[in-house]
Amino acid sequence: MTEKILVTGGAGYIGSHTAIKLIEAGYQIVIADDLSNASPRAIDAIAEITGTKPEFVEINLTDNAAVGQLFSEHTFAAVIHFAGFKAVGESVQLPLKYYRNNLDSTINLLQAMEAHGVKDFVFSSSATVYGVPSEIPLKETSNIGAVNPYGKTKEMIESICFDLASSDASWNISLLRYFNPVGAHPSGKIGEDPTGIPNNLVPFVMQVAVGRRDSVQIFGGDWDTSDGTGVRDYIHVEDLAEGHLKALEHLKPGCSAYNLGTGQGYSVLEVVAAASKASGVEIPHEIVARRSGDIATSLADPTLANAALDWKAEKNLLEMMQDSWRWQSSNPNGFS
């Protein structure tokens, strides 16, 4: 019998790319999403790309009764949990919104899983749990200490998962700590589609390249890095999606955290140059003041994930920018 996987937040950026990989691997999936930060057109695109239209349930996971209903209507083999608010800046302004949404939805989900004997769980965590890096590159054993409410919700959910696994040996949990996801499916039919002004670098750069915005503001040119601009471990969303499939297939008893990164850092100026090469257009940019809360460098040591998940990120920065550009240039206004 085909295993059925619940993909919460599966209409979103990373969720939709992972949904495609799951379908292509032969899984049956149910996407649960409240569409607060995603378009239903992503579901249509998944159908176009895979030839299979996934079942979609519009649901707010903070509604406990609705979550219970979902689990009474389906027999899931596992859950991959992407759903959650994820804007760092907004989380600082509206912490209660983030704690309520991200924690309640996850606890509702885990309680429904427990009640229905579903114990395979892959969680969308984040390198943000490391806060200000205690060492570079970051290992899964590096100090944890999120410094914003968004990151703290991820850290708290990780703690809940570790405690759950300690209380009941039947849980098989993987916590995937993403570094900086960028890029898009090679078809150009799905990609990152932030609402409003993009907080993240690459969608902003692509909106400048396609003419929606005037210039990239580079937050600080005096960081302690090769060229003075911030360095991050950018990972192609296709590699990241593959990492979820591998995490699902390599679930083991207990609760394990994995860094999903490449181990290769790139500066803001290197990203802008690669985006210009991929798009064939000059991308105006200017160095301005640092953004509060930023750090100079974030970099993964991915060796544990490489070994334990039999997974390794393959795509380079130019491929990330080429795929981002194909999505952006084919869909200048995203899904809207």
- Spacing of C-alpha 18 from chain mean position: 10
Residue 187's closest CA among 18, 7, 39, 322? 322
- Report whether 243 contacts 306 (CB < 8 A): no
Residue at shortest CB range from ligand WQD: 230
Asked about 13 being catalytic, the answer comes back as: no
Catalytic one of 98, 150, 258, 266: 150
Query: Which residues lie near ligand WQD (CB under 6 A)?
Result: 86, 88, 126, 128, 178, 180, 199-201, 204, 217-219, 230, 232, 268, 291, 294, 298
Q: How far apart are CA 257 and CA 180, in angstroms?
A: 17
Residue 77's closest CA among 173, 6, 165, 21? 6
- 10 Å CB burial of residue 326 (0-12, 13-18, 19+) is buried
What are the DSSP E strand ranges found in the chain? 4-8, 28-33, 55-58, 78-81, 120-126, 172-178, 180-182, 216-219, 231-232, 234-236, 254-260, 266-267, 285-288
Q: How far apart are CA 130 and CA 153, in angstroms?
A: 12
- Report whether 252 contacts 198 (CB < 8 A): no
Report the half-sphere exposure of 52 (CA within 13 A, side-chain side). 16
Q: Considering the complex, what minimum distance in angstroms separates the CB of residue 298 from ligand WQD?
A: 6
54 vs 243, which CB is nearer to ligand WQD? 243
60 vs 200, which CB is nearer to ligand WQD? 200
Q: Is the peptide bond before 54 cis (omega within 30 degrees of 0)?
A: no
81 vs 232, which CB is nearer to ligand WQD? 232
Q: Considering the complex, what minimum distance in angstroms separates the CB of residue 146 from ligand WQD?
A: 9
Q: How far apart are CA 311 and CA 242, in angstroms?
A: 8
Q: Considering the complex, what minimum distance in angstroms separates the CB of residue 297 from ligand WQD?
A: 9
Q: Considering the complex, what minimum distance in angstroms separates the CB of residue 18 from ligand WQD?
A: 15
Catalytic machinery residues: 150
